[in-house]
Amino acid sequence: MTWTAAVAGATGYAGGEVLRLLAAHPEITIGTVTANSSAGDELGEHHPHLVPLADRLVEPTDAARLAGHDIVVLALPHGASGSLCAAIDEVVKAGEWGRRAPVVIDCGADHRLTDADAWARYYGTPYAGAWTYGMPELLHADETVAAAQRRKLRSTRRIAVPGCNVTAVTLAAQPGVAAGLIETSQVTAVLAVGYSGAGKALKPHLTASEALGSARPYAVGGTHRHIPEIIQNFCRAGADAGCVRLSFTPVLVPMSRGILATVTAPVTDVVLDSEHPDEVLRSAWRSTYGTLGEGERLVNLLGEGSWPVTGTVVGSGLAAVQVAYDRDAGVATMVCAIDNLGKGTASAAVQSLNLSLGLPETTGVAVEGVAP
Contact predicate 164/110, CB 8 Å: no
Q: Enumerate helices (H) and strands (E) in the chain, giving the number of each.
A: 11, 13
> Based on the number of CB atoms within 10 Å of its own CB, is 2 exposed (0-12), middle (13-18) or buried (19 or more)?
exposed
Q: Is the dihedral of CA 199, 200, 201, 207 positive or negative?
A: positive
* Residues belonging to the chain: 372
Active-site hit among 164, 235, 243, 336: 164
Residue type, 172: A
What is the DSSP code string of 310-352? GGGTTTSS-EEEEEEEETTTTEEEEEEEE-TTIIIIIHHHHHH
Q: How far is CA 1 from CA 28, 29, 73, in A?
A: 9, 11, 19
* Best CA proximity match to 262, nearest among 313, 193, 189: 189
| 223 vs 227: CA distance, rounded Å | 8
* Best CA proximity match to 76, nearest among 149, 117, 25, 125: 125
Q: Helix H segments across the chain?
A: 13-23, 63-66, 81-93, 116-122, 148-154, 164-178, 208-211, 227-236, 269-272, 277-289, 347-357
3-state SS record for 172-235: HHHHHHHCCCECCCCEEEEEEECHHHHCCCCCHHHCHHHHCCCCEECCCCCCCCCHHHHHHHHH
| 148 vs 190: CA distance, rounded Å | 29
107 is catalytic: no
What is the CA 12 to chain-centroid distance, rounded? 16
Give the active site residues: 164
